[in-house]
Amino acid sequence: MAAALQIQEFNLLDDGECDARIAAAKRLLGKRMVILGHHYQRSEVYKHAGLTGDSLKLSQLASQTEAEFIVFCGVHFMAEVADIVTDGRRTVILPDLAAGCSMADMANLMKVRKCWAELAQVLNPDELVTPVTYINSAADLKAFCGSHGGVVCTSTNARTVLEWAFKQREKVLFFPDQHLGRWTAWKMGLPLDEMAVWDFAKPMGGLTVEQIRKAKVLLWKGHCSVHQMFKPEHVDRFRKDVPNGRVICHPECDLEVCRRSDLVGSTEFILKTVKASEPGTHWLVGTELNLVNRLAEEMKPQGVTVQFMSPMVCMCSTMFRIDPQHLAWSLDNLVAGKVVNRIRVPAEIARPARTALDRMLSLAT
């Protein structure tokens, strides 16, 4: 049996050659294969996706596809979700295994278990705390939530999920992104003094017994590096320069950025809102650079100006790892009957993780 094609051969190809190979592979594989592309992907890769969306939409699309092969142009946790929601009946491929998520890496199973054990010194977490993990997390953390009465959320449905969580138990442990948790809880009317940041690097999260007991929401000390590049002064400067402008940002941004914005929502929400705006509208957008640049080009002919919020370039570097060379490599191997970089979640993790995901998918968004 012939060996799989090596990525080193493809790294020498220019983007044009890769485009031709990708197009040819798509024709040969037909309906047996679908490419899912997250909005943050570089345009050179995004254009090849058959289905696009944010984390929630791609999770739903993965669960609905009949394709034998799912080539996921996103990051590792997204490919894991695709494997989980298809019960392993589809072959999920991540073109570059280095495409991870720095936010997801800020919480791992060992740290969360340690947190749960330390909480047990103050209260009974299995009776009083609902664990909620952002979809930007590893499969074993989703499994932890599934095994402890918890749930997964996305930036689209975070409020709906938190409302459900509080009906189950009086407190929430929200990880790994503190900013999405804080914004969502604040919009629900929870005061900031009933939210406490759990610093996983410190004993008892760096909190006193009184702080733990008072907190309705324990926020994991994690964040998205891209969305933390946006600052309140960026919004203030735009307000001064463009008095009639509109500001929209992602809820992974800092609370003060969100509070200064006209609208806050997921990548799907941002896209739909800006695309529906009237000619002459000028938007300041606080989310990933590739998405904003694509949106700016699309809206320019309609007389809508789309401006990136930060004066500094800040793209999702881990999403950027998937390039035309890796995509062409993975597809050419499929054509040759070889599967490279398959993402497979062990059954003992996939089952409880699926429970947490199903709880999320069953809730109206």
Domain boundary residue, one of 223, 241, 275? 223
- Tens digits of residue pLDDT in 275-292: 999 999 999 999 988 889
The answer on 44 and 21 residing in a single domain is yes
* Inter-CA distances, 137 with 30, 97, 294, 347, Å: 32, 15, 26, 18
Residue 114: count of CB within 10 angstroms of its CB: 14
Q: Report if residue 360 sits inside a domain.
A: no
| DSSP characters over 46-70 | HTT-SEEE-HHHHHHHHHH---SEE
The answer on 237 and 152 residing in a single domain is no
The answer on 238 and 165 residing in a single domain is no
What is the pLDDT at residue 158?
95
Percent of residues in the chain assigned helix, strand, coil, to nearest 5: 50, 15, 35
The answer on 175 and 246 residing in a single domain is no
- CATH code of the domain in which 211 resides: 3.40.50
Burial label for 347, CB within 10 Å (0-12, 13-18, 19+), is exposed
Domains in the chain: how many in total? 3
What is the pLDDT at residue 316?
56
The answer on 108 and 216 residing in a single domain is yes
What is the pLDDT at residue 319?
58
Q: Report if residue 314 sits inside a domain.
A: no
Cα–Cα–Cα angle for 211, 217, 222, nearest 5°?
100
What is the rounded average pLDDT for all residues in the chain?
92
Q: Report if residue 359 sits inside a domain.
A: no
pLDDT band at 57 (very low <50, low <70, confident <90, very high): confident
Q: What is this structure's pTM? A: 0.90
For β-strands 69-73 and 51-53, DSSP reports them as unpaired
- Tens digits of residue pLDDT in 160-213: 999 999 999 999 999 999 999 999 999 999 999 999 999 999 999 999 999 999
Lowest mean pLDDT among 197-201, 303-307, 318-322, 331-335: 318-322
Return the beta strands (E) in the chain as ranges.
33-38, 51-53, 69-73, 91-93, 129-134, 151-153, 171-175, 195-198, 217-220, 246-249, 263-264, 282-286, 305-308
83, 66 contact by CB (below 8 A) = no
Domain boundary residue, one of 308, 335, 359? 308
Burial label for 300, CB within 10 Å (0-12, 13-18, 19+), is exposed
pLDDT at 314 over 60: no
Measured CA to CA, the distance from residue 226 to residue 179 in angstroms comes to 12
The answer on 117 and 139 residing in a single domain is yes
pLDDT band at 226 (very low <50, low <70, confident <90, very high): confident
The answer on 255 and 235 residing in a single domain is yes
Domain boundary residue, one of 223, 257, 279? 223
Q: Report if residue 353 sits inside a domain.
A: no
Q: Report if residue 24 sits inside a domain.
A: yes
* Inter-CA distances, 236 with 73, 242, 245, 320, Å: 35, 10, 11, 30
pLDDT at 315 over 60: no
Lowest mean pLDDT among 38-42, 191-195, 244-248, 285-289: 38-42
The answer on 129 and 57 residing in a single domain is no
What is the pLDDT at residue 64?
87
Average pLDDT for 25-30: 96
pLDDT band at 54 (very low <50, low <70, confident <90, very high): confident
The answer on 124 and 81 residing in a single domain is no
Measured CA to CA, the distance from residue 289 to residue 316 in angstroms comes to 8
The answer on 87 and 42 residing in a single domain is yes
The answer on 197 and 118 residing in a single domain is yes
- CATH code of the domain in which 336 resides: 3.40.50.10800
| Count of alpha carbons within 13 angstroms of residue 352, beta-carbon side | 15
Q: Report if residue 147 sits inside a domain.
A: yes
Q: Report if residue 361 sits inside a domain.
A: no
What is the pLDDT at residue 313?
62
The answer on 96 and 109 residing in a single domain is no
- Tens digits of residue pLDDT in 285-312: 999 888 899 999 999 999 999 999 987 7
Name the DSSP letter for residue 90. Answer: S
- Tens digits of residue pLDDT in 58-67: 877 888 888 9
* 55 Cβ neighbours under 8 A, 6+ residues apart: 38, 78, 81, 135, 136, 154, 155
What is the pLDDT at residue 365?
54
Domain span at residue 46? 7-100+319-346
Q: Report if residue 163 sits inside a domain.
A: yes
Conformational region of residue 171, where left means phi above 0, alpha means psi within -120 to 50, and beta covers everything else: beta
Average pLDDT for 63-81: 90
- Tens digits of residue pLDDT in 117-170: 999 999 999 999 999 999 989 999 999 999 999 999 999 899 999 999 999 999
Which structure tokens are listed for 48? 């090849």
